[in-house]
Every structure is written in structure tokens, then in C-alpha cells.
Homo-oligomer: A and B are copies of this chain.
Amino acid sequence: MIQIDPRNSSPIYEQIIKQMKELCLKGILKPGEKVPSVRELSSMIVANPNTVSKAYKELEREGVIETLRGRGTFVTETVQIKMNEEKVEMLKEQLKSIVVDAYYAGIKIDDIQNWIKEIEKEIGGKR
């Protein structure tokens, strides 16, 4: 389910966050469905429970999952979109970086537009 890549330099908790979001958007994890407990997932990926807990807290803050104390953690029934101007600006900056890096890697703008269409097909519209 969640796969941690040790060669990937990004922190374990960020890899969890990224993959969990994708699983929810793709509909592999359905609204209301239970996700692995902190201790379960930590033993599955061989990481510390604290690391998983950190990821879950961020995912809850972003409205992807919600926790019911003593019961477990679940995919939110209805995603609460949190409009956040700071987040929007951050995403724009990240996008600019990608476009610039793409230039020096020999990638054209049209290629990037097509990539987005592919991503949309892969994860879009499932919820």
C-alpha cells in the first residue's frame, strides 16, 4: 500500500503524506474507509510510530483523513477544501521552479501541459 523508498531523499513522513493523498484521490482508499493505525503502518513500513503520527497529523490538518480517538483514522467522507492564499502562492512558486528546471533539462512547455493531462487521467475525478 504505502511504499517507502530509502533512496528517496525526502523524509519518510512526507512520502507517507504524498502517497496517502494519491491513494485517496485515486479512490483506492474510499471515503469513510479505515486506514492502517499508526502502529500498524509503522510496522508495515518499518518506521517509528512517531514518524507515522507526524504524517497523519499533517494529513488531518489538510482535511484528507480524520481521527476518532480510540477508534482509529478514516478517510474523510467529504473533503473540506481549505482555501489558503499562502498555499496557493507556494504552489505557484513550485510550479515556476519546475518550468525553469524543465528548460535546462530540455523539456518543452507543451510537454509539461501534456504531463498534467496524464496526471489528470490517472488521479482526477475519482472523488
Chain A residues packing against B (C-beta within 8 Å): 18, 21-22, 25, 62-64, 79, 81-84, 87-88, 91-92, 94-107, 109, 112-113, 115-116, 119-120, 123-124
Interface majority SS (helix, strand, loop, mixed), chain A: helix
Copies in the complex: 2
Q: Which 3 A-B pairs have the closest CB atoms?
A: A81-B106, A87-B105, A21-B100
Q: Is the CB of A95 within 8 A of B83?
A: no
Shortest Cβ distance from residue A117 to the other chain B in the assembled complex, whole angstroms? 8
Interface centre among A25, A83, A84, A100 (most CB of B within 10 A): A100
Also in contact, A21 and B81, with CB within 8 A (given A116-B109, A120-B109): no
A103–B63 Cα distance when bound, in Å, is: 11
